[in-house]
A and B are shown apart, each in its own frame.
Chain A
Amino acid sequence: MSMYAQLVETGVNQLQSRAEMSAEERAFQERVDAGIKIEPKDWMPEDYRKTLIRQISQHAHSEIVGQLPEGNWITRAPTLKRKTILLSKVQDEAGHGLYLYGAAETLGVTRDQLYADLLSGKVKYSSIFNYPTLTWADIGAIGWLVDGAAIMNQIPLCRCSYGPYSRAMIRICKEEAFHMRQGYDIMIALCRDGTPEQKALAQDALNRWWWPSLMMFGPPDAESVHSAQSAQWKIKLFSNDELRQKFIDQTIPQAEYLGIRVPDPELKWNEESGHYDFGKIDWDEFWNVVKGNGPCNRERLRARVQAWEDGAWFREALVAHAEKQSQREAEATKAA
């Protein structure tokens, strides 16, 4: 799988043929093939349900952890207008996390269970958020590249087979488009309207975010063992390599407009294929970041664990207060 949910296991190693399916499975697959949405109360294969829970919760966790690298610059945003926009954007991300947890809850899990799996390190979030935001230009680069890559993956998911997920994605995509524009707008201010020093900040950010952004689409198709099942279930509509190529083709002209260069000496336009050819992605780095060896893996998770632990007394107090309140109401009813 790709993007905000970059490696989702499907529990299935080989696709079943129609003949091997049970009557229920066949009916399910026919609905999916006909483009009819699957809703929470409909019958679904257990592996479909579990795969969706993994995929949606990874996406939700990515939104929540993704608040941290950008939140890092809210207090240092260079103008009050930029601060306002960034604060709204980071708030939108928390909102996306909430819709997605809501969509996952329709599959029979609770938000608290899912969140506990993030905090214990059992379930991953997108590795892109394990890279640091070192300068203000990183906020531009994240909006432009990371949100740009996310949109590329998420627009097809608006048409995915599971109703609640598809509807959450429609809502999220509208806001992501705004996020990408604000990021590119920061880059324009730095590169086209800025000083040489500001343009250098933008180039440095592109140098650091380019390859990790390409890695967001997940491993090459040849190594994506679970993709075929997800494609059949219509919870993955394009392959990792297709989306990656589409992203590169879209992004290079944008970089040219900014007057900055992607850090890939092998990048060149291929007249014959109608696409850009590009250099080799360092998958060793990708797998290391996934395994926990990225520059910020420990900090990101520690920050979320700390917030959760520090908030324990607060959550307990609200529960205790609600209980006292309902007890008082019950007594009042009895007395009356």
Chain B
Amino acid sequence: MLLADKFESLLRLGDNTLILAQRLSEWCGKGPVFEEDMALTNIALDLLGQARLWLTYAGEVESKGRDEDALAYLRDAHQFRNLLLVEQPNGDYALTMARQFYFDTWHHLLLQELLKSTDERIAAIAEQAVKEVTYHLRRSSDLVTRLGAGTEESHRRMQTAVDELWPYTGEMFAPDAVDEALAAQGIICNPGQLHEPWLKHVAEVFRQATLTLPSGTWMQKGGKQGRHTEHLGYILTEMQFLQRAYPGAKW
């Protein structure tokens, strides 16, 4: 039972990073300045690297012979465990930055907790990832601040973006039975405990960015359990095309 829960939890970690990396790589060659293009690609590469570590470990825990590619390319939407937030479309650069900022703030807090995991492999992956994510968070916090406090137009776009994605933030902190079982063993932390520090950082950045903290309380949920938005199906269609079109082929 615990192994099944661990597998589930590792898929969540792997799918979050994989799907966000996939979204970010859609920006490649289309960024607003070359330096941004390169920075986003860097972040996509970091997240993709993390996804591969999580999914490889998930496959080992499951012990049914599935490797990172079997898990990434041969599951359908209802078997993906990522947060709804990361599958949301890129939109304009403000929306991409808002998505990144909400995610990075949470991701950084989560990885710091995972450093203490009683599962050594999880702690080791977290240790590698947290260095990268520290930079991601510094960068997205800085950009949200500058765009919020930039021009009238950038302020309007940034406010629209943070409002738009707000309902997808609640899911990050809502524990389910899987989380509770693993938290009881010290393998992961209870996501509920991340809410307060998350809100504190977001509120502080928004204050500097002259953005209004959204106040809505109704939150979308389901990603962690495999109930997604319509967007995920298209992401998978594109990502999985070759593996589906040429079953069993090696690349």
For A190, list chain B residues within 8 Å (CB).
251
Query: Scoring A residues 49 to 80 as 1 if CB is less than 8 Å from chain B, else 0, what string do you get?
Result: 00000000000000010011001001111111
- Chain A interface size, under 10 / 10 to 19 / 20 to 34 / 35 or more: 35 or more
Contact A311 B33 (CB under 8 A): yes
Min distance, Cβ B28 to any Cβ of chain A, angstroms: 4
Is the Cβ of A90 less than 8 Å from the Cβ of B251? no
- Given known pairs A91-B45, A316-B154, the reply for A80 and B29 (CB within 8 Å) is no
Q: How far is the CB of B138 from chain A (nearest CB, A)?
A: 16
Asked if B69 is at the interface (CB within 8 A of a chain A CB), the reply is yes
Main secondary structure of the interface of B (DSSP, over half): helix
Interface centre among A94, A186, A315 (most CB of B within 10 A): A94
- Contact indicator A97/B250 (Cβ below 8 Å): no
A313 touches B31 (CB 8 A): no
> Which stretch (A150-158, A227-235, A258-266, A317-325) binds chain B?
A317-325
Interface residues of B in 59-76 (CB under 8 A from A): 68-69, 72-73
Stretch binding the partner chain, chosen from A193-201, A241-249, A273-281: A193-201
Using A80-B72, A90-B41, A197-B246 as known contacts, say yes or no to A75 and B239 having CB atoms under 8 A apart.
yes
**Which A residues touch B200, using CB under 8 A?**
none
- CB pair A80–B68 under 8 Å, yes or no, is yes
B141 within 8 Å of A by Cβ? no
Interfacial residues of chain B within 35-78, with CB under 8 A of chain A in the complex: 35-38, 41-42, 44-45, 48-49, 51-52, 55, 68-69, 72-73
18 residue pairs bridging A and B, Cβ less than 8 Å apart: A67-B28, A67-B29, A75-B239, A76-B241, A77-B242, A80-B48, A80-B52, A82-B251, A91-B38, A95-B38, A190-B251, A195-B246, A198-B249, A314-B32, A314-B33, A316-B150, A318-B147, A324-B149
With a cutoff of 8 Å between Cβ atoms, the chain B residues found around residue A74 in the complex are 25, 28
Asked if A78 meets B243 with Cβ closer than 8 Å, knowing A84-B49, A315-B32, the reply is yes
Inter-subunit contact A84/B41 (CB<8 Å):
no
Cβ of B251 and Cβ of A320 under 8 Å apart?
A: no
Is A293's beta carbon under 8 Å from chain B?
A: no
Complex CA gap A136/B151 in Å reads: 42
Report A79 CB to chain B, min CB distance, Å.
Answer: 5
Q: Is A44 an interface residue (CB 8 A)?
A: no
Instruction: Decide: B151 and A316 in contact? CB cutoff 8 A.
Output: yes
CB atoms of B41 and A91 under 8 A apart: yes
Query: B142-162: which have CB < 8 Å to A?
Result: 146-147, 149-151, 153-154, 157
- Asked if residues A75 and B25 are in contact (CB atoms below 8 Å), the reply is yes
Q: How many residues of B contact A (CB 8 A)?
A: 47
Write out the residue numbers on chain A whose beta carbons fall within 8 Å of the beta carbon of B154.
Answer: 313-314, 316-317, 320
Query: A119 in the interface, Cβ–Cβ < 8 Å?
Result: no
Interface membership of B92, Cβ < 8 A: yes
A330 to B89, CA, bound (A): 41
A118 to B26, CA, bound (A): 23
CA distance A83 to B44 in the complex (A): 11
User: How many Å from the CB of A104 to the closest CB on chain B?
Assistant: 14
Which of A84, A308, A311 contacts B93 (CB under 8 A)? A311
Residues of chain B within 8 A (CB-CB) of A310 are 30, 32, 92-93
Is A83 a contact of B92 with CB atoms below 8 Å?
no
**What's the least CB distance linking A37 to chain B, in Å?**
27
Q: Is B238 an interface residue (CB 8 A)?
A: yes
